[in-house]
Each structure stands twice: as structure tokens, then as C-alpha cells.
Amino acid sequence: MSAENLRFELSEYRARLDATRNAMEEAGIDLLMVTDPANMGWITGYDGWSFYVHQCVLVSKTEDPIWFGRQQDENGARRTVYMADSQIRSYADHFVQSSQHHPMTPLGALIADQGWSTATIGIEKENYYFTHAAFEALAAALPNAKFKDTTRLVKWQRIVKSPREIEYMHAAGKIVAAMHQRVSEVLRPGVKQSDVVAEIYHTGTRGVDGYWGDYPAAVPMIGAGIDASAPHLTWSDRLLRANESIFFELAGVHKRYHCPLSRTFYLGKPDQKFLDAEKAILEGMEAGLTKAVTGNSCEDVAKAYYGAIERYGLTKPSRTGYSIGMAYPPDWGEHSASFRIGDHTELRPGMTFHFMSGLWYGDWGIEITESVLISDGPAKCLSDFPRKLIAIE
């Protein structure tokens, strides 16, 4: 792909590769096999809906990365990666979803042909896209290689965002604010959930202020009435009801960079339980954001939030935030640092998190969240939409 069409400067991809190689050296890795599509895209620029078949990027200590995937996806690689065509390799279609053949067999042959048959190879074991069968086939093809788990090696290199990445996330923040604004305009008793989601998708894809909307790594999550007790349900054709709450957990996306944001709406006059929970969450978020500064830890943010809501008699057994950025289905988290007890990751400028302050109980729930950027001063919100329980009367 020509350099002017890449989403980042070539120098940025080179810096990412250097950081990855330094991490490989520290981990004692000769060759890194990257299967997470967000990691693949971050290192090479590759962007395609091809992660339902086996694919990877091979990172060595000296040569440009090698993209390896299905033969019909070669042109997609040529259209998106920065490497020369010689670094794009593929397997034939009879390896796809076959009971007799596996794509890791030709990958093993490629690795051996490159002189890495006895190398120490890093693989992303805890990964949606790398199966047990894939590992068995790769190990059989490379009987003299050694394998080490490097699931989070690239993820940790991604955690501090560059100025261009932050620009894309601010764009995503504008889009998700527009999505919630559209929700507030169409949300009424008697409206079908699916009709509201149609408006969400339309707004999210159309984008705002010249920024187009990419597809999200997770679908809109909705909790209406008692379903708000479960954070990860989706929509139906059920009609919205008066005197009922409904939360929306959405993400604006621009060039694969995500900005999640949740808000809870109430169709009518909120009862005291929701008003009290709103107050607790907002105080907890303010307490957490006060701690979300350079030099503090992820745990400091979590402790501040938990301490604030506990004064209202509320508890949250789950984590209250996680690193975000570039993502592909099935979720938009980076799988590195989290706002939770025991995570001592030091906060640094350029880190981005979804402050997931949602609460879910036996028959109700409430979500009011923010995506934030760690800076040299106070944390900055990546989106601008009223942080409150929104009553529609």
C-alpha cells in the first residue's frame, strides 16, 4: 500500500515494530506470531473482516513483518499493510474449515523455510482467534521449535496512545455522543427496542463533523426494566414502557478506534432508588477521576470509586474500567490494564480507559460511564455528553 493511504505515518509503524522487538528480546522470543486482529492491525495496518479464518503476522528480529492469511485475502493485505508484496504470504482455500487440512501446516512450513524451525516462538494462547487445533497443527509442523505464551506482549505495547490514535478516539467520542443524542430523541414509551437500535446504527455509521463511523467490536447492549440487571443483553422487538429505565452501552468507532459510553434513561419520573444510585455513581466517578492521574495506579482509581459508592450501601464486585483503543469483534477492550484492586499498572499520559462504573443487581441496573484519557494533568473525557441519569417525561 502506498504510504499516503496508510492510517498512520510509516515512522509510527516502525516505532511500534521497534517496541515490539524490544519486548520480544526481554521475553526471550526469536519469532512472534500475532493472531489478534487488533495487534495485527497495530503492527502492520492490516484491516479486513477475515478473522473468522486463520491468519497471523510474523514478527522477527530483523526483517519486515510477514502477513499470512487466506489466499483470497492477499489483496486486502496489499490494500492495507505497509510491507512489500514479498512479505504477503497465503494458504490455499482447501485449508479453510477442513477436517483433513489445517492452515497452520503451511504456516509451519513457511516458518521452517525462513530458518526458524528451532526458534523460540511466541504465540497468543489466550486469544479468541487462535484455537487448540491451531496450536496442535503448528506444533506438529514445527517439532523442534519452542513455544512461549505472549498473549499480552503486543497489547502492553499498545497501551500508550500516539497523538494520531488519540485524534481517532476523540472522533469516536464525537460519534458516540451523537448516538446517545439520537437515542434521547427517539426514546419513548411504545417504541420498539429494535427501532431505537436502527437509529443508533444509522447515526454511528454516518458519523459526525466529517468523521465517518466504523463498525463496533461489540453490538449495542441494552437493559430495559428487569433486563437492566444483566449488563450484556441485546435488543428485541419489545416495546419500551413508561416508568421504566433503560441503559445503552454503545461505542463510537473511527478507523477501528473505539470510544465506549453508557447512559441510563428513565421513561418518566425516576424513583428514589435510581436517583440515589445516580448520586453514588457520579460521586464515585469524580473520586476515581481525581485519582486517574499520571503516577497513580489503576488500583488507586478503583479504590476511590468503590469507597465512594460503598458509603451509599452499594457494592460492585466487578472491575470498574479497562484499557481501550483499537479493537475488533467480539469486544472493544484491549485486555491489558484494568481499574481493579490488585492492578498496580502505573498510569501514564496517553493511556485510555473506559471507566465502567455500571451497577447491576437482582432486578435492576444503572450505567453511566466515561471513556477517559490520562494526561499530564487531570484525566480528560474523550466524549462530551451529559453525565447523568436522563429522564424523558
In a shared domain, residues 181 and 134: no
- Residue 5 is predicted with a pLDDT of 79
Say which amino acid occupies 18.
D
Q: What is the CATH number of the domain that holds 131?
A: 3.40.350.10
Tell me the average pLDDT across 82-100.
Answer: 97
Tell me the average pLDDT across 235-260.
Answer: 98
In a shared domain, residues 198 and 343: yes
Half-sphere exposure (Cβ direction) of 286: Cα atoms closer than 13 Å: 8
22: pLDDT strictly greater than 90: yes
Q: What is the CATH number of the domain that holds 333?
A: 3.90.230.10
In a shared domain, residues 102 and 243: no
Looking at 155, 187, 202, which one is the last position of a domain? 155
In a shared domain, residues 189 and 57: no
In a shared domain, residues 71 and 211: no
Do the strands 56-59 and 31-34 form a parallel or antiparallel pair, or are they unpaired?
antiparallel
**Rounded Cα distance, 56 and 291, in Å:** 38
Is there a contact between 202 and 250 (Cβ–Cβ < 8 Å)? no
In a shared domain, residues 125 and 43: yes
- The alpha carbon dihedral of 35, 40, 42, 43 has a sign of positive
155: pLDDT strictly greater than 70: yes
Whole-model pTM: value is 0.97
- Residue 261 is predicted with a pLDDT of 98
Number of domains in the chain: 2
Mean pLDDT, rounded, of the chain: 97
Looking at 155, 187, 212, which one is the last position of a domain? 155
**Rounded Cα distance, 298 and 336, in Å:** 11
Residue carrying the nine cell digits 419489545: 238
Half-sphere exposure (Cβ direction) of 294: Cα atoms closer than 13 Å: 10
SS3 content of the chain, % helix, strand, coil (to 5): 35, 20, 40
- What is the pLDDT confidence band of residue 308, given thresholds at 50, 70 and 90? very high
| Tens digits of residue pLDDT in 265-290 | 999 999 999 999 999 999 999 999 99
- Residue 3 is predicted with a pLDDT of 64
In a shared domain, residues 134 and 235: no
- Residue 153 is predicted with a pLDDT of 98
For 216, phi and psi rounded to 5 degrees? -80, 155
60: domain range? 3-155
Tell me the average pLDDT across 66-77.
Answer: 98
In a shared domain, residues 328 and 379: yes
In a shared domain, residues 176 and 133: no
| Tens digits of residue pLDDT in 187-227 | 999 999 999 999 999 999 999 999 999 999 999 999 999 99
Tell me the average pLDDT across 247-262.
Answer: 98
**Nearest alpha carbon to residue 253 among 197, 175, 179:** 175
All three cell numbers of 161, joined, read 496512545
- Residue 2 is predicted with a pLDDT of 59
Give the CA angle between residues 360, 363, 366 to the nearest 5°.
35
- Residue 112 is predicted with a pLDDT of 98
- What is the pLDDT confidence band of residue 63, given thresholds at 50, 70 and 90? very high
Looking at 155, 186, 203, which one is the last position of a domain? 155
- How large a percentage of the chain has pLDDT more than 70? 99
In a shared domain, residues 362 and 299: yes
